[in-house]
Amino acid sequence: MPQELTAAGIDPFDERAYRAILVRHTAAPAELAADLDCSTERAARALDRLREHGLVGRLAGGRRRYAAIEPGAAVEALVRSRTAELDSVRAAAGELSRLFAAARQGGSEEVEILTGSEALGRWFVRLQQEAREDVMTLDRPPYALTTSNPVEATALTRGVRYRAVYAPEALEWPGVLGDIRELVAHGEQARVLPGLRIKLAMADRRLALMPLSLDFTSEVRAAVIRPSALLDGLVDYWEMCWRQATPLDAPAGDGLAEEDRQLLTLLVGGLKDEAIARQLGWSVRTMRRRMSRLHEELGAANRFQAGVIAVRRGWI
């Protein structure tokens, strides 16, 4: 099925739900669930997300029922909203230039330049300790000191919400996937997204820490960024990455083995066969045999189709 709305931030399953309600004009979650062959709860969540995007509206009355908004106007409004988000990121270009200049001159009021791995590590700990509500990260190799983050578990116990987007390369580092699973068990929300080009940590949308280079073999330089247009742009960029990323902590689908769910998640996350097999403790041959069986079960001709169908079914 076409997925023309993906570029506008609409999940493929949600687009299916939108197309189904366009045919019906109005629908209750249970009716839509029958059309999509999914649970009523999943259909209801999709309708709520479509409502947030302005594609459907909830009808008055005690019964939960939704109506499709005329696509021409609804999609145009959605595109304008996404354009505004991109404009916000673009508006930070001037501040990015300012960051570049500050890095040469040693810093500014909004941007403080750190030098050395130890200084970067101390600030990462401090950022988390000072967080009161929210820590948002983009995580990818290389790592300056260690891949573990013992401060996070403590922060989670005092109610700080952690949301992390990982690059597939991070999951290939020894021990990282195990660390993530442990943190997810404590409450972290984790997703994976190919193509991450920066490392970033932000606390309460008021403080950010970002290495200025991913070359950790030479002297490490990083920026501490305080409230500014640059910080606003980084927050917007993180939000876009989060929406596009695949959850690593999604519940397993009905009857799906946990190992198969992990296999599909790592596959959608962009890991290669060897890396997936290593993370799951399998041989490459075993991994490919399990993947072949999942292809048959999903009715998929290739890995891309398998990932798409698994997402639509709510397996990952």
The two tokens of residue 276 are 């997936």
CA 66 – CA 5 distance, rounded (Å): 20
Q: Tens digits of per-residue pLDDT, 1-39?
A: 455 677 667 878 888 888 898 888 889 999 999 999 999
Average pLDDT over residues 192-199: 86
Q: Tens digits of per-residue pLDDT, 207-243?
A: 999 998 888 777 888 999 999 988 999 999 999 999 8
CA 295 – CA 290 distance, rounded (Å): 9
DSSP 198: -
Tell which residue, 219, 231, 229, 230, has the closest CA to residue 114: 219
CA 112 – CA 210 distance, rounded (Å): 11
- Structural domains in the chain? 6-85 (1.10.10.10), 92-247 (3.30.870.10), 258-312 (1.10.10.10)
Q: Tens digits of per-residue pLDDT, 233-259?
A: 999 999 999 988 877 765 544 556 777
Measured in whole angstroms, the distance separating CA 297 from the mean position of its chain's CA atoms is 27
Residue 286 has pLDDT above 60, yes or no: yes
Average pLDDT over residues 95-114: 66
Identify the weakest region by mean pLDDT among 64-73, 113-122, 178-187, 219-228: 64-73
Sign of CA dihedral 303, 44, 238, 214: negative
